[in-house]
Amino acid sequence: MRPVVFGNRFGWLHAGTGKRGVVLCNTYGHEYVWTYSGMRQLADALSARGIWVLRFDYRGTGDSAGAELAPDQFESSVDDIGAAVEWLKASTRIEHVTLCGFRVGAAFALAAALRKPVDDLVLLAPVASGRVYMRELSIVRKTWLELLAPPLRDMQQNDAQLNVLGQVYSDEFKHALEAVDLVASVNGATMAPARRALIMNLKAGGKDPVCEALCHKGVDAEARPFEDLTGFIQEPAFNVLPRAAFDVAVQWIAGTASPITSEAPTLAADDWPALRIETPEAIERPVRIGDESLFGIMCEPRTGPARGPVFLIANTSASPHVGDSRLSVRIARELARRGVASLRFDARGRGDSPAAPGDVQSDTAFGRIYNPIATDDTAAAARWLARQGYKSIFSFGVCSGAYHALKAALVEDVISGVITVNLPTFKKPADVTPDGLRQSTRNSMAGYAFSMLDPQKWKAILRGEKHVARVTRFVLGYMLTRARSRVVDALRLDRLSNTPPEMATEPGPIIRALDARKVKTVLVYGAYDAGMDLIAAHFGKQGARLSRFASVRVAVFPDLDHSLFMTNGSAHVVALCERIAREAHSPVFEQTFPAREPAVS
C-alpha cells in the first residue's frame, strides 16, 4: 500500500492487478479510530484478490485537511466519496467501481451512489436510522460521563455541544445525522444507486428493509448477517476483527477473482516527499521512518524557526497515529499554529506501520498497549528526527503513550525532554484479559472523596452494584505504598540500587535517572486522575518532593480528564508544550515554570 493525497484529502491506495476497484468509506468519530486497523485489514484482503482499494479520510477527519465542527460535514463527506471515485478511476484505469461503507460511512456511500450510481454497493452494519444512531451516541456519552469524577462530569454536562469521547458534533451535523433514513432515501430516489448491493447487518434472518427498498428499485440486492459486530466496535485494546463478516464481503466483492501470487507495485519511499497536506497553519508530509519502516506524518509550521523544537507524539493505547477522536492531529496542528513542529507516528502493530515482529502481538489488552516494541519504536522515531536535523526533541504521550514516551527518554540520548499526560504507571502492568482490565478500572482518591458525598453511589453499594472491598484494598495499598516511599526517600535507599535506568520500574529511580541525564520532564495530570495517587504515594501531595530535581516538574489541572476528551484539557496541554518549546535551549526550567502548574489545592 502507498499513501496518496488528492484534493487535500489523505488516503492509502492498496494495489490491485485488474479493472475492479473499491472505495472504502470510513465511519466517523470514535468508531473511526476503533475500527481503523480492521478497515486496513479489509483493504489488504481485497488487494490480495487483485482488487484496487482506496481508503481515505473525509475532510475534517483523520489526516485530511479541514477543521472539525464544519456545519456541512455530512454533505462534504458525500462529496469526498465522489472525488475519491474519480481519483481512483483516473489513477488506476479501473472500469468497475464498488463503494463499501461501514456504519455512518455506509450512509455516506449510499448518498454518494444515489447522486452518481456505481456498479456495486456494500453496506456494512449501516446506520439505517439516524435517530437510532444518535440515541446510541447518547448512550456512549452517558457511559463516559458516569466514569468521570463528579466535578469533571459537571463541567462536561454544562457544555452545550455534543461531545462523544472527544468527538464534538456541530448542531448542523447532528441534525443531518438525525435525518438519516436509508429506506426513505432509496424510495425517494429517481434512479438505482447500483446494479448489485450487499447489506450486512447485525441481525441474522428476517427481512432487511434497506435490502427490500433496493430490490424495489431494480437492484440485485441481498442481505447477510454481520457476525461479531459488537466485538469489532470496541476500543482498539479490546477490538476483535470480524473475520467471518469480512470474508463474506471480500468474497462477494471479488467474485471469481483468484488471489494474486505476485506483489503489486508500490511507490518508493523516496517519492513520498512529493505528497503534501496543506492546512492554514502547517505543511504535513507522510514519512517512512527508519529501518523499521514506521509510518508517520511530519507536521511542520508555516512560520517559526526551521528545525526548531519538535514533539514526537506516541500512540495512545492501540489507537492509530491520528489519536482518539483525532486528538493527535488537533494537537499537532495547534502546535504548528504556534510555530512548533511535530511528528505523529505509528509503532509497529498499530495504525499504518508494519506488523510487530514475532509472537509479540498479544491478544490481551496490556499485551497490545504496553508492548515494549512501542518503546523501541518511539526511540527509533526520535533518532529519525535527529537525522532530519532536529536537536530539541520532546517525546509526548497520553496514558499508555506517556509510558512509552517516558521509557524511550530513559534510553535514547537524542530525546532532550518528555511530556507525559496522565501517566498511569512506571512499569508494565501484569497482563490481564479485557474483562479483567475493565474490572480493574478505578477512581482516584480525589474522585472517591467526591463519591462519598454522592447519595447515588451509596445506593449502588447497598444494591450490591459497587464493590466496597475492592476500594478498601486500593486505599490500604495506597497508604502502605506512601509510607514505604517515605522510608525509602528518608533513608535514600533507592540510591543503593544497581539497576540500569532502562530496567528500572520504580518511580524514584526512573525520575532520578531522567534528572541525571538532564531530560526535561513534565508530568501532566488531571486533578482527579488515578495517576495522581501514584505520584502522591511516591513523591508527596501533588509531587511536592519532585521539586528537588532540577529537570523534573509536575503540572496539575483541575479540568483535565484522563484521555483529553474535554476541550479545555487539550488546550492546557498545547499551551504547556508551547511554553516548554520556548525554553528548549535553557539548561534547566526557567523560574517562570513553577514546580506545580495551576493546580487544585
Residues 443-455 have pLDDT tens digits of 554 544 545 555 6
Residues 46-87 have pLDDT tens digits of 999 999 999 999 999 999 999 888 999 999 999 999 999 999
Cα–Cα distance for residue pair 202/594, rounded to 1 Å: 54
Cα–Cα distance for residue pair 386/404, rounded to 1 Å: 18
Specify the domain boundaries for CATH 3.40.50.1820 within the chain: 2-131+179-254, 281-582
pTM across the whole model: 0.88
- pLDDT of 600 > 60? The answer is no
Q: Give how far Cα 311 sits from Cα of 4, 417, 432, Å.
A: 24, 9, 32
Q: Are 590 and 550 in contact (CB under 8 A)?
A: no
Cell triple for 599: 493546580
Beta-bridge partners for 312: 343, 395
Residues 92-151 have pLDDT tens digits of 999 999 999 999 999 999 999 999 999 999 999 999 999 999 999 999 999 999 889 889
Give me the residue label for grid cell 525509602. 488
Cα–Cα distance for residue pair 363/450, rounded to 1 Å: 36
355 phi and psi angles, rounded to 5 deg? -65, 150
Strands 341-346 and 294-301: antiparallel
The size of the chain, in residues, is: 601
pLDDT of residue 461: 55
At the second CATH level, the architecture of 281-582 is 3-Layer(aba) Sandwich (3.40)
- pLDDT of 343 > 50? The answer is yes
Nearest one of 293, 297, 432 to 369, comparing CA atoms: 432
Q: What element of type H or E holds 176?
A: helix 171-178
Q: Are 569 and 561 in contact (CB under 8 A)?
A: yes
* pLDDT interval class at 592 (50, 70, 90): very low
CATH topology of domain 2-131+179-254: Rossmann fold (3.40.50)
